Amino acid sequence: MSIHPTAVVDPKASLAENVEVGACAVIGPEVEIASGCVIGHHACIERNTKIGEDTRVWPMVSLGSDPQDLKYQGEKTHLEVGARVKIREFATLNRGTAEGGGVTRVGDDCLLMAYSHVAHDCQLGRRVVMANSVNLAGHVTIEDFASLGGMVAVHQFTHIGSYCFVGGLSGVAQDLPPYTLCEGARAKTHGLNTIGLKRAGFSGETIEALKKAYRIIFRNTTPLKKAIAQAREEAPDLPEVRHFLEFIEKSQRGVPR
C-alpha cells in the first residue's frame, strides 16, 4: 500500500494492500477500495463508497458526496463503482437516496471523462462511456456499452439503451432505444448505431434485422402499438430485436419518433 503522507484516510475506511493514494486525497468512513486502485491527488471519496479492483480515480474527483436532492435528510446511502473504471478529473458521483433505492451504481470498465456528473440513484451498466461534461440527473439508467458525447444533458428518470450513441450537445428528455444513433437539442433517433455495432462484432444478419425493426417503428406513421406488433411479425426473431422492441414497449417516458 502506498499512501502519501499528506493524504487523510479515515480509520473506518478499508483499503486493500496494493492501493495507491495521492497527495492531499481524502478517504472518508466506510469507504472500501479494492486491490490495484489508484486514487489521484486531491481526490475526495467522502463516505459509504465501494470501489472495485484496478479502478483509477484521477485528481480532483469527488465520489460518494451527499445526493443533490432536497428530499435527502441524511439517510445512510451508498455509491458502488465497479472494476477497471476510469474516472477523470473533476468528475462527481453522488450517493443514492432512500426514495430511489439507496444506491448509485457504475458498472465495470466504464470511462467517465473530465467534469462528468453522475447524480443520485443513477444505474450505469458495463463499458459505458461518458465524454467531457456529460451530466446525468437523478434516477437515470444507462445500459451496457452506451456512449454519450460531450456536454450531453440527461433528464431525470430517463433510460438509455445498450449500444446507443448520443451525439454531443444533445438534451435527452425521452428514453433512447438500444442500438440507435441519437442527437439533437431534444435528442431524436437518426438511425442505427451501425458503426458501433460492427465494431462490437454484431453479425450482418443481426444488423439487418435491427434495421428492419427500426424502419417499421421510426420510418412510418403507424401508431406505436401497432408498429411494435408489425415489427414482431415481420422482423427476424433475434434476441437483439426482442430487446429493441421490449425497450420501446416498456418505456415510461416514451421514445422520440
- What is the pLDDT tens value at each position of the chain, 257 positions in all? 899 999 999 999 999 999 999 999 999 999 999 999 999 999 999 999 999 999 999 999 999 999 999 999 999 999 999 999 999 999 999 999 999 999 999 999 999 999 999 999 999 999 999 999 999 999 999 999 999 999 999 999 999 999 999 999 999 999 999 999 999 999 999 999 999 999 999 999 999 999 999 999 999 999 999 999 999 999 999 999 999 999 999 999 999 99
**pLDDT value at position 1?**
86
Please confirm, yes or no, whether 138 is among the known catalytic residues. yes
Write the class of the CATH domain 2-139: mainly beta
Handedness of CA 211, 217, 220, 222 (dihedral sign): positive
Residue 233 DSSP label: H
Closest CA relative to residue 82, chosen from 58, 46, 57, 62: 57
Please confirm, yes or no, whether 190 is among the known catalytic residues. no
Residue 163 phi, psi dihedral angles, 5° rounding: 60, 15
Q: Give the strand order in the sheet containing 165-166.
A: 2-3, 20-21, 38-39, 56-57, 86-87, 111-112, 129-130, 147-148, 165-166, 180-183, 188-192
Contacts of 193 by beta carbon, 8 Å cutoff, 6+ apart: 163, 164, 165, 179, 180, 181
Q: Which one from 64, 82, 107, 138 is the annotated catalytic residue? A: 138
Joined together, the cell numbers standing for residue 201 give: 462484432
Report field, pTM of the whole predicted structure over 0.85:
yes
What is the distance between the alpha carbons of residues 34 and 15, in angstroms, rounded to a whole number? 6
Q: Which one from 117, 120, 139, 243 is the annotated catalytic residue? A: 120
Write the class of the CATH domain 197-250: mainly alpha
Does 197-250 match 2-139 at the fold level?
Answer: no
Q: Which one from 69, 108, 109, 121 is the annotated catalytic residue? A: 121
Task: Count the neighbouring beta carbons within 10 Å of the beta carbon of residue 74.
Answer: 7
* Structural domain boundaries in the chain: 2-139, 197-250
Please confirm, yes or no, whether 4 is among the known catalytic residues. no
